[in-house]
Structure 1
């Protein structure tokens, strides 16, 4: 980055991405291309993107604090499983050759977002709805761990995967699922960011500007997200997932 215009662009990308994290997800569709456009190499851009979007997940989770308090047990399970899974995901990132998941990630995102869209129509056939007030089954808990692993390894689309897991595995309102999705992104990004700070080459100017914008955007996104009708939110998630998958395939 060499000009005030580029600094402003990264700051605005952080703001917009923060809003996306707390609403429909797929924030990196906005922030990552901007970081590349201002001249950061892909690996450095990925590190700055993860660190810079971490405040969005945290501020978004704070904005959704009322929803998270409604289901304290589920909130705790999501936080612990995603953070723990992200540790394993980061280990895999360091141990496996680059691009192991690159070929399948677009299809994984596409299938997952379509599951989010179809969930109201098929969930009654696929699971027993929990009327007992917020416990996750063992299978759903394992699925949360796997989403955490994916989030630590790659991250793109992990929030929507969490929405699909919770949509089929728990009887929760969409606004609560969205809150838990935001928390899961925050947990994974915190773990990855700590590691990146220790071992990676960080462009602190880019990461800092992105973080400054995303912190406000995450909170604003939570205010918007809790007011979005469930059907509209599902439609936006599906459209975002299709866009993400097509972009990656291109």
Structure 2
């Protein structure tokens, strides 16, 4: 119980900063003897307080982004519900193949984000009129598909969100991180609500992770503001790489 609680604190903090908190809690839940599906659904429900806590901690950076959050939140909700459905419908072999591939893709996008963003801005300059502030349909579609993955497993979900928004929005990384925390909370809530009707939870694990992630989310939100964009991006790549290795070895 102490181990699960500690994992919840760590996951809440990591999710508020960059994401990949599931890669902390999921192995711990498996080590307690839970099945992969029960561990996944219990983890999804338990991490909701942490996502909300992280979003509240970033409320200053959310100022002026209400329209963007509402628009992207619709796609996140639809994607999260789809991913939760796929978790229960697809075989375990698909789970083991899909997740490492998406985590690896997210790491490539994060590592190359400065170079790609520079080229994207260079192509926009000759165009007449202001660039779109909401990323248009490419961002909406990309985040909806990423939310399908989030409802399915959620590890490195935040990294995928940040990489997509970083490519398509001209905003400081901390403001994008604030939006990411809200979208993660939406996906987790939608997926967990669906699981309540069709899956079995371990309620002890849910309670321990809920309390731990709520504490960790607030802590992570306060700590991450001290990081420069370079440090934050390096942390994203480091955590994501560890997550990928863990998935491949498992």
The answer, yes or no, to whether TM exceeds 0.5 is yes
Q: List alignment gaps of at least 5 residues for structure 2.
A: none
Where does residue 59 of structure 1 map in the other structure?
53
Distance 2:161 2:118 in 1: 19
Distance 1:150 1:64, change over 3 A: same
Distance 1:131 1:239, change over 3 A: farther
Note the alpha carbon deviations across 1:137-183, whole angstroms, 9 max, x for none.
11111111111111112222211111111011111110011112212
Q: List alignment gaps of at least 5 residues for structure 1.
A: 1-6
Could you state the TM-score of these two structures normalised by the residue count of structure 2?
0.90
Distance 2:97 2:223 in 1: 34
Distance 1:97 1:36 in 2: 18
| 1:125-164 superposed matches below 5 A | 125-126=119-120, 128=124, 134-164=133-163
Where does residue 213 of structure 1 map in the other structure?
212
Query: Per the alignment, in what secondary structure is the counterpart of residue 45 of structure 2?
Result: helix
Could you state the TM-score of these two structures normalised by the residue count of structure 1?
0.90
- Given that 1:86 and 1:153 are in contact with CA atoms closer than 8 Å, whether structure 2 keeps it comes out as yes
RMSD: 1.9
- The CA deviation at 1:223 is 1.1
Where does residue 3 of structure 1 map in the other structure?
none
Where does residue 76 of structure 1 map in the other structure?
70
Distance 2:113 2:50 in 1: 27
- Given that 2:135 and 2:168 are in contact with CA atoms closer than 8 Å, whether structure 1 keeps it comes out as yes
Where does residue 175 of structure 1 map in the other structure?
174
Distance 1:23 1:42, change over 3 A: same
- The CA deviation at 1:101 is 4.5
